[in-house]
Amino acid sequence: MEYHPGGEEELMSAAGSDGTDLFDQVHRWVNYESMLKECLVGRMAVKPAFPKDYHEEKRLLNGMLPKSQVTDPLAKEGPSSPSYDWFQTDALVTIVIYTKQKDINLDSVIADHRDDSFRAETVIKDYSYLIHIALSHEIQEDFSVRVVENVGKIEIVLKKKENTSWKCLGHPLENHNSLIPKKDTGLYYRKCQLISKEDVTHDTKLFCLMLPPSTHLQVPTGLHVYFKLTITGTEIVKPYTPVSDSLFSEFKEPVLPNNKYIYFLIKIYPAGLFTPELDHLQIGDYVSVSNPEGNFKISQFRELEDLFLLAAGTGFTPMVKVLSYALTNIPSLRKVKLMFFNKTEDDIIWRSQLEKLAFKDKRFDLEFVLSAPTSEWNDKRGNISPALLSEFLERSLDT
C-alpha cells in the first residue's frame, strides 16, 4: 500500500468488494494481466514433514527455494534492486521508481530528456539504478520530480505533447532497469548555458550556468561535476565543485530558481589550457556538464560538534556548501573553524562575506594565513605547517 501512487485511501475504498469498476475508472489503460503475472511468486504447496534428523541442502517447492534459502546476490554487496512502474492520464505520464530505501531525496535523482530518449539515474548508496527508455510518444521539454522520502518512492511526471493514450512507455535502451556500481556507470553530460560571469578577485570569477529545461540535477554537498570543452579538436575535461551564489544564499529570496542554476568559482590561469577557453565563452554559449561525482557523504556530519576546515586558494570552493550546510542543518554544532591560506590579500575569495558571516554567527571562526603578504599585514603569515595546525586545533578545542 505504501508504494501505491494514489495513496492508501484510494485502495481501501475497494477493500472487501469487487474493485473492477474503480480500477477501470482510474487505470483502464493499464495492462493488469502482465502486472499480476509479475506478482506471482508460486503456487500454494504443502511442505512435506520430515524427521528432525533429515537434512537436504536445497529442497525445491514448486520450482522455488523456501524463503530461508533464497539468497539475494546484492545482499552482501549493495542494496536490493529497485523497480519501476508507469501510469498515465490524458495529459501526463508518471514514472514511479520504488527504491526500497528511506534515505532518498531530490539530490539522489538525475533525469534527462534528450530527443526521444528519457534517462533517469537514481543514486542508492554506492550504486546507480538506471531507467533508460526511448519513449513511444513525444513529450514536452520540462518535467517534474517528486520524492516521498519516508517510503523511498520517486515520481517523475512527464507532460504529453498530444493527449493520446500510450499503449507502452517505450522500448529499453542501454542498461535500462539495471542496478550497477556507481564507479562503473561512466560520465553522462548535458549542455548547460552560460548565464553570467563576474569578477570575484583579480583572477577568479563566479560562473553561473543554467541547466536545460529537460534536465533535473542537484549536486549534493561535497560532490563535484566535470566540465567538458573541445579545444583544438580534442575533448578536455576538468572537475569543478559547485558553490552557492553567495555565502548568504540560504537567508535570502533567490533571484533565480535555485534548482535550474549552478554556480562555480573558477580561477583563470592565463597560461593554462582549459580555463582561458572557459573565460572566452560568451554569455549564451554552452559547456557540457557531467553527473555529480565523488565519495563525500554529508551524513557523517549529523552528530557533529566541532568542524575544522582547511583551504588554500580556490580549494575554498568545496568548503562553501559544507560551511553553509553545517551552520544551517546541524543542531549539535558547537564551532566551525576555517583556516584559509592565500598568497596575498587580493587573492582571498569572498573575504568580506566570510568576515560578515563570522560576525553574524558566533559559532564560526575564521583565520587568514598569507604566504606573501605586504608589510601592513598583521595576521598570520607563512605556509601550512604542523606548528600552525597544532596551534589552530589546540586553541579551538580549549574554547
Average pLDDT, stretch 333-341?
Answer: 94
- The strand ranges marked E within the chain are 83-88, 92-98, 109-114, 117-124, 127-135, 139-148, 153-160, 170-172, 178-181, 189-199, 204-210, 215-216, 225-231, 234-240, 261-267, 286-290, 306-312, 335-342, 364-370, 380-381
Question: Residue 130: what residue type?
Answer: L
Average pLDDT, stretch 210-237?
Answer: 94
**Range of the structural domain that residue 238 is part of:** 189-293
In a domain, 15, yes or no: no
Are 339 and 271 within one domain?
A: no
pLDDT, tens digit (0-9, with 9 covering 90-100), for 238-278: 999 999 999 886 544 444 455 799 999 999 999 999 999 99
- The number of folded domains in the chain is 3
Are 177 and 200 within one domain?
A: no
Angstrom distances, CA of residue 111 to CA of 269, 287, 290, 319, 337: 33, 18, 12, 27, 36
The CA R_g of the chain, rounded to the nearest whole Å, is 27
239 annotated among ligand-binding-site residues: yes
In a domain, 43, yes or no: no
pTM reported for the whole predicted model: 0.78
312 vs 273: CA distance, rounded Å: 22
| Region class of 270: left (phi > 0), else alpha (psi between -120 and 50), else beta | alpha
In a domain, 344, yes or no: yes
In a domain, 36, yes or no: no
| Region class of 359: left (phi > 0), else alpha (psi between -120 and 50), else beta | alpha
Alpha helices of 91-248 — where are they, by DSSP H?
Answer: none
220 annotated among ligand-binding-site residues: no
Q: What CATH code is carried by the domain that includes residue 368? A: 3.40.50.80
Q: What is the largest CA-CA distance in the chain?
A: 92
In a domain, 231, yes or no: yes
pLDDT, tens digit (0-9, with 9 covering 90-100), for 157-184: 999 999 999 999 999 999 999 999 998 8
Are 287 and 325 within one domain?
A: no
Q: What CATH code is carried by the domain that includes residue 258? A: 2.40.30.10
Three cell numbers written together for 59: 529442497
320 vs 247: CA distance, rounded Å: 7
Are 273 and 314 within one domain?
A: no
Are 195 and 273 within one domain?
A: yes
211 annotated among ligand-binding-site residues: no
127 annotated among ligand-binding-site residues: no
**Helix (H), strand (E) at residue 392:** helix 386-398
Instruction: Taking the CA atoms of 279, 285, 291 and 296 in sequence, report the sign of the dihedral they define.
Output: positive
317 annotated among ligand-binding-site residues: yes
In a domain, 147, yes or no: yes
Contact of 338 with 320, CB cutoff 8 Å: no
pLDDT at residue 149 is higher than 90: no
